[in-house]
Structure 1
């Protein structure tokens, strides 16, 4: 093999290295000042220069030079494409949920929370591969990891590492997923998205925001699963990552700092002046309230409603053709 042949090999090598340098600059390091990028650029330029020097007497349009250049460029492009595809598959995995009810799709709140992570978070799951919950949990945590490179997941087989289980105080019936961020730690009560997201929120934001339901005025009960109860509504809030709790306003001088919203759900008794003042001042400062008031019920909150531009009427919508006229049934409601 003569010097010209070695020059062509060096030129091909140089082109490949140059493509590698550009790829690393644009897709990996994001900076041309990286030592790896600079080294590749220098090596690539040296390879191309070696080719030009050893083949300087060959006519640029000669058949050998032409086909050699085409082969070199084609090879470099092919290698760059393969490297790029490999990078996308490894670093930017993409999956599709083809189920009808999107059971393998994370909620918008969970996805947004994960993408907004600023600190490193570690999730340690104490489950063996043979346990029934393992597959569901492993798939869900893989979805979580795909949303943020700040999240690290590890599975610990409790049967193979009994010392770690004892050290972390893990029990068969208790929480077995530990979420840590810095000095903060939380444990997910089960493997559901709701439990995992709540645990993540607790360690990344200090504590999850809560939706409080007023209590003590005959409101609909949050734990009641009957038609009058709010259990289904509360469960839907929890599935979106919110925490819920009841609050007796008379026992507080100010609203809890973790209050995301206050729900007044169908009271039958009136609020005291102190309670009304507490609610009004909190809403005036930017708090959010959801009030569900039945017709004819005086809550004591009416002056506060009026100050916010809301007038509570005493009218009722009835259906005279129904067996129970006070229960109006409509197929479609206009905007209101």
Structure 2
């Protein structure tokens, strides 16, 4: 074997020893980090210390002149200063980490603002009068645990009267039995001590609605009139059904029911009064009445005419301070247009057409216009409207003079400037001309009237009416488009004098999630925060040692 070959092998052994020494040193220094990440002084920590010891031993064995070189090297002082500098840097990093832990801040960089509580949630939490506790029954190793805890931390941070507790089900069988917690049912309980509610998941919408339910004493009733071919709140399959918006109304904290004035007028039992006196003269039929518990009545796109007695019931409902929503369909003559006219709102016999290119880019047709708040004064129902609504086959309307004395009516929503109300649709073709109602044209209006204290049947000091020139916009097909849901719920909240609820509902998550099990998350955290940094530092240190020898 030549002297050159022997020297090359000697250099290789020395260099490998130096790399091993670098790895061993980094393993020793990173052992506390592994201890913190694993949560125990277990096999991982012991393994690192032992492997580090073997690597350092290999370095000392292959570099026998280590101590003599250190003692006699002119760079000993430089190495000492480097070690001191490294110690200072590590200390500063530790201090920075301590400050960060004690002053926890979150920055939401998602486009939808998924990790920022909505205005509605912050309002609800700020108005809490008493203590509210949230109990989430999840084991730390379950995939949902981390996300649920992070969400509840945001809630607790936004309201000082809300606290939460993560409860492993096996640790509290008494609470599991009390609240009937199962693997397939709601596992988040919100309680005030007197009453409680369940959240099906830890989404913001579910949690906020559950908080509203336990903190509000009684749910107000929103009734939908039936019996004339109206859109159905029970139909979740058909595009023209109202099941979707009805569910959203319930999620807002209201009770939803249907109301048939005709059936309500029928007496029960086997006896039927014929309304004929002993002389054969017909007696007046009993007046129909909207039940007193109804906070808001919605008439959604009737196809048939309402009976005169039903129209009188609606008029009486408004006269005593009731709150009414009329969702009219283009060209339909059902009687509600006459009631609207009495309240200074006149529905036009036309169809809104909008040629705006934005409609086409959004996948909407010319008969599906974008709708915006009226500029004739700010209104509570549209104050928080940040996205336009989408109507379908809508009619324009006008605020007119005459009608009921004391009524104050004003436009609520209008079309864009590119839209118009087509009055002479021929063969499915629309053409703007002087006879049409040019945009921006009103498609919704509100009317209010003060109810005098002398009114014996008064239920509120002000009657409120909202008329929309379209019913489809809250159907299953349209209610999730743009700002439709927020607009309708905010309108109901204004009618029911629940202005505190008027805001923007929580955002929906886009399809950008990475789902990990608890074990996978632990491995990812360990590799990214321990293994990779250790290997990089060890490689860098080894290269430095080899170059220094050279």
TM-score (norm 2): 0.39
Assess, with a 3 A threshold, how the Cα gap between structure 1 residues 320 and 193 changes in structure 2: closer, same or farther: same
Mapped pair 1:324 → 2:336: no
Matched, 1:312 2:386: no
Task: Give the number of the structure with larger relative contact order, counting CA–CA contacts within 8 Å between residues 6 or more apart.
Answer: 2
Instruction: Determine whether 1:334 maps to 2:440.
Output: yes
Structure 2 residues not aligned, in runs of 5+: 1-98, 265-288, 352-420, 433-437, 443-550
Structure 2 equivalent of residue 290 of structure 1: 325
Per-residue displacement from partner, 1:172-206 (whole Å, max 9, x unpaired)? 22222222124122222333222222221122112
**Which of 204, 213, 230 in structure 1 is aligned with 2:242?**
230
Equivalent in the alignment of 1:133: 144
Query: Do the aligned partners of 1:124 and 1:156 also contact (CA within 8 Å) in 2?
Result: yes
Q: CA deviation at 1:214?
A: 2.8
Matches within 5 A, 1:99-118: 99-118=110-129
User: What SS does structure 1 have at the residue aligned with 2:149?
Assistant: helix
Deviations 1:190-226 (A, max 9, x none): 3322222222112211234454433332122333354
Is the deviation greater in 306-315 or in 119-128? 306-315
Give the superposition deviation at 1:103.
Answer: 1.7
Q: Which moved more, 1:149-158 or 1:159-168?
A: 159-168
Deviation, 1:321, is 9.5
What residue number does 1:193 align with? 204
SS class of match (1:270): coil
Per the TM alignment, residue 148 of structure 1 is displaced from its structure 2 partner at its CA by 1.1
Q: 1:225 to 1:318 in 2, by over 3 A?
A: farther
Residue of structure 2 equivalent to 1:121:
132
Partner Cα separation in structure 2 for residue 199 and residue 256 of structure 1: 26
> Scaled by the length of structure 1, what TM-score is found?
0.60
1:55-204 equivalences under 5 Å are: 95-204=106-215
Aligned-pair Cα RMSD in Å: 3.7
- Show structure 1 runs of 5+ residues with no match: 1-85
The separation in 2 between residues aligned to 1:132 and 1:254, in whole angstroms, is 50
Q: Does the CA contact (< 8 Å) of 2:195 and 2:214 recur in 1?
A: yes
User: 1:35 is matched with which residue?
Assistant: none
1:299 paired to 2:299: no
Q: Which has the larger radius of gyration?
A: 2
Q: Is the 8 A contact 1:215 1:246 kept in 2?
A: no
CA deviations over 1:118-154 (Å, ceiling 9, x no partner):
1111111212222233333222222221221111111
Counterpart of 2:299? 264
1:98 to 1:279, Cα distance in 2 relative to 1, 3 A: farther
Mapped partners of 1:134, 1:282: distance in 2: 50
Q: What is the count of residue pairs matched by the alignment?
A: 246
- Corresponding residue for 1:280? 315
Task: Give yes or no for contact 1:194–1:238 (8 Å, CA) kept in 2.
Answer: no
Cα distance, 1:99 vs structure 2: 0.6
| Aligned counterparts, 1:2-17, within 5 A | none
Query: Secondary structure of the residue that 2:207 maps to in structure 1?
Result: helix
* Partner SS, residue 218 of structure 1: coil
Residue in structure 2 matched with residue 41 of structure 1 by the alignment: none
Give the 3 Å change call, closer, same or farther, for CA 283–106 of structure 1 in structure 2.
farther
Distance 1:136 1:100 in 2: 19
Alpha-carbon distance in structure 2 between the residues aligned to 1:157 and 1:333: 60
CA distance, structure 2, for counterparts of residue 107 and residue 211 of structure 1: 24
